[in-house]
């Protein structure tokens, strides 16, 4: 069976390519390297002992994808490719709507025409915006998105919902909470940017000396230590959920044409707990300061994972310590160091 992974040289995509290949699938990657590097294909080959085919295609180009489908005939698609910088999406909404929605529409069009019926979509807990109750289950209302990025996930899910109703397509959307960490080999991980989006890369960058200080935004939230709580999940656990979802669709085990699952651990950790755990696991002292609340931050977000555990049959296997250890090893690898922990 051949799986097309779009965005397969990106952070979560590359980890998923590895897990799919380790499960015996042939994998093709489409990625235009908008936010990733060609060297990731070498790293995947080094980890798995086999080289996936990589196609430098912009998914906004409908003809290019059509050509790919007619020549290579994938059996299933896992669609990661998207712009993901929330802050930038507020400044450049049209670029985000164009890239994230046009690429999805083009891809779905090809899947429907080619009767490639198994489709897994990268969604996000951002579709829940400010949740009314915790933990958040899949029946929680999908709310007005807090950013154009979040809106592309909400609209993306709606486009898929309508497409499965009018075709033979079967789809699963996986709503990730906060993916962190990297592969045990430390050969793939989250690409460092000058403006990391998530807490973990900022912490590791401060600890390695790339940035001066970590800022905790607010210690007066109604949480035990006053800082915000999030559901961090190891990227390899996220990747494995995609293998499970692909197999579910290919084996026709899905209960409806469109299914949605939360991917989290179900446990929330506060920012201060994360800092203290980082210091304990790595032995590094983190330079941090506490400032006022940041606009738009939600007090606490964590998943109800019962549906993913029971219906999808997937469980997380890695804990916070694994997330921190592998994130730190990736930062060491990027710095050319080998003193992994
Ligand atoms: N990382 C997170 O915290 C997180 C959380 C929730 C959801 N997601 C979603 O998961 C998916 C993967 O996220 P990631 O962290 O791996 O991001 P990433 O930026 O590392 O990977 C995305 C990849 O898609 C590629 N891409 C983007 N637009 C493309 C296009 N038009 N044509 C071809 N390739 C294109 C980029 O080059 C990149 O390699 C995204 O859809 C993202 O929105 C991520």
DSSP state letters, 249-309: HHTT--SSSEEEEEES-S--EEHHHHHHHHHHHH-PPP-EEEEPPPTT--SB--B--HHII
pLDDT value at residue 219: 97
pLDDT value at residue 15: 98
For the domain that residue 14 is a member of, what is the CATH number? 3.40.50.720
Looking at the domain assignment, is residue 85 inside a domain? yes
Q: Is the CB of 81 under 6 A from ligand 1?
A: yes
pLDDT value at residue 91: 93
CA separation for the pair 298, 129 (Å, rounded)? 8
- Residue 198 above 90 pLDDT? no
Q: Are both 36 and 162 inside the same structural domain? A: yes
Phi, psi (5° rounding) for residue 4? -90, 125
DSSP track, 17-59: HHHHHHTT-EEEEE---SSS-THHHHHHHHHHSSPPEEE---T
Looking at the domain assignment, is residue 186 inside a domain? no
Q: Are both 147 and 249 inside the same structural domain? A: yes
Of all protein residues, the one whose alpha carbon is nearest to atom 12 of ligand 1 is 80
Q: Is 128 a catalytic residue?
A: no
Q: Are both 14 and 128 inside the same structural domain? A: yes
pLDDT value at residue 248: 98
pLDDT value at residue 106: 98
Banded model confidence at residue 193, pLDDT cuts 50, 70, 90: confident
Nearest atom, ligand 1, residue 40 CA: 39
CA separation for the pair 187, 322 (Å, rounded)? 16
pLDDT value at residue 166: 98
Looking at the domain assignment, is residue 21 inside a domain? yes
pLDDT value at residue 295: 83
Each residue's pLDDT tens digit, 73-86: 999 999 999 999 88
Q: In the structure encoding, which two tokens stand for residue 124, read together?
A: 């996000």
Q: Are both 118 and 259 inside the same structural domain? A: yes
How much is the average pLDDT of 297-315?
96
Of all protein residues, the one whose alpha carbon is nearest to atom 34 of ligand 1 is 31
CA separation for the pair 330, 265 (Å, rounded)? 22
Mutate to test the pocket of ligand 1, among 80, 124, 147 (most ligand atoms within 8 A of CB): 80
Of all protein residues, the one whose alpha carbon is nearest to atom 29 of ligand 1 is 81
Q: Are both 137 and 285 inside the same structural domain? A: no
Nearest atom, ligand 1, residue 180 CA: 3
- Residue 87 above 90 pLDDT? no
Higher pLDDT: 85 or 244? It is 244
Q: Is the CB of 82 under 6 A from ligand 1?
A: yes
Contact by Cβ (8 Å): 316, 181: no
Q: Is the CB of 122 under 6 A from ligand 1?
A: yes
Looking at the domain assignment, is residue 302 inside a domain? yes
Q: Are both 247 and 279 inside the same structural domain? A: no
Each residue's pLDDT tens digit, 2-32: 999 999 999 999 999 999 999 999 999 999 9
Of all protein residues, the one whose alpha carbon is nearest to atom 21 of ligand 1 is 10
pLDDT, the chain, mean: 97
Looking at the domain assignment, is residue 175 inside a domain? yes
CA separation for the pair 173, 179 (Å, rounded)? 16
Nearest atom, ligand 1, residue 179 CA: 3
Of all protein residues, the one whose alpha carbon is nearest to atom 43 of ligand 1 is 84
Q: Are both 273 and 170 inside the same structural domain? A: no
Q: Are both 203 and 241 inside the same structural domain? A: no
Looking at the domain assignment, is residue 76 inside a domain? yes
Burial of 237 from C-beta contacts in 10 A (0-12 / 13-18 / 19+): buried
* The model's pTM: 0.98
Contact by Cβ (8 Å): 219, 226: yes
Q: Are both 59 and 91 inside the same structural domain? A: yes
pLDDT value at residue 196: 66
Looking at the domain assignment, is residue 341 inside a domain? no
Active-site hit among 68, 128, 149, 221: 149
- Residue 94 above 70 pLDDT? yes
Q: Are both 79 and 92 inside the same structural domain? A: yes
Burial of 103 from C-beta contacts in 10 A (0-12 / 13-18 / 19+): buried
Q: How far is the CA of 127 from the centre of ligand 1 (A)?
A: 16
The rounded percent of the chain whose pLDDT value lies above 70 is 99
For the domain that residue 278 is a member of, what is the CATH number? 3.90.25.10
Banded model confidence at residue 195, pLDDT cuts 50, 70, 90: confident
Domain that holds residue 272: 199-230+266-311+318-334
Q: Is the CB of 157 under 6 A from ligand 1?
A: no
Q: Are both 17 and 92 inside the same structural domain? A: yes
What is the count of structural domains for the chain? 2
For residue 226, the number of C-alpha atoms closer than 13 Å in the C-beta half-sphere is 9
How much is the average pLDDT of 142-160?
96
**Chain centroid, CA 143 distance in Å:** 20
Q: Is the CB of 268 under 6 A from ligand 1?
A: no
CA separation for the pair 341, 334 (Å, rounded)? 14
CA separation for the pair 76, 15 (Å, rounded)? 17
Q: Are both 91 and 139 inside the same structural domain? A: yes
Nearest atom, ligand 1, residue 59 CA: 32
Looking at the domain assignment, is residue 189 inside a domain? no
CA separation for the pair 82, 90 (Å, rounded)? 15
């Amino acid at each position: 069976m051949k799986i097309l992974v779009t965005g397969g040289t990106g952070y979560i995509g590359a980890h998923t390519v590895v897990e799919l290949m380790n499960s015996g699938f042939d994998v093709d990657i489409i990625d235009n390297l908008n936010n990733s590097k060609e060297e990731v294909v070498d790293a995947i080959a080094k980890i798995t002992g086999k080289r996936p085919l990589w196609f430098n295609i912009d998914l906004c180009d409908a003809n290019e994808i059509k050509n790919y489908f007619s020549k290579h005939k994938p059996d299933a698609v896992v669609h990661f490719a998207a712009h993901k910088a929330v802050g930038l999406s507020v400044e450049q909404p049209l670029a985000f709507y164009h890239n994230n929605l046009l690429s999805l529409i083009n891809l779905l069009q090809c899947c429907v025409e080619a009767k490639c019926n198994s489709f897994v979509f990268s969604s996000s807990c951002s579709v829940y915006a400010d949740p009314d109750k915790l933990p958040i289950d899949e029946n929680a209302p999908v709310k007005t998105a807090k950013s154009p990025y979040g809106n592309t996930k909400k609209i993306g899910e709606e486009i898929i919902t309508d497409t499965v109703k009018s075709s033979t397509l079967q789809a699963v959307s996986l709503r990730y909470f906060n993916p962190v960490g990297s592969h045990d080999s430390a050969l793939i991980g989250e690409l460092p940017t000058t403006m990391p989006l998530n807490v973990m890369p900022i912490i590791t960058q401060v600890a390695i000396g790339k940035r001066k200080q970590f800022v905790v935004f607010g210690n007066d939230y109604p949480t035990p230590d006053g800082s915000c709580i999030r559901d961090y999940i190891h990227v390899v656990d996220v990747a494995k959920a995609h293998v499970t979802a692909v197999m579910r669709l290919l084996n026709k085990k899905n209960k409806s044409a469109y299914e949605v699952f939360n991917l989290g651990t179900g446990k929330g950790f506060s920012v201060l707990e994360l800092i203290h755990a980082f210091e304990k696991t790595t032995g590094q002292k983190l330079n941090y300061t506490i400032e006022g609340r940041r606009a738009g931050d939600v007090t606490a977000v964590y998943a109800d994972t019962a549906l993913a555990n029971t219906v999808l049959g997937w469980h997380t296997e890695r804990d916070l310590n694994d997330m921190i250890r592998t994130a730190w090893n990736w930062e060491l690898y990027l710095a050319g160091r080998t003193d992994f922990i």
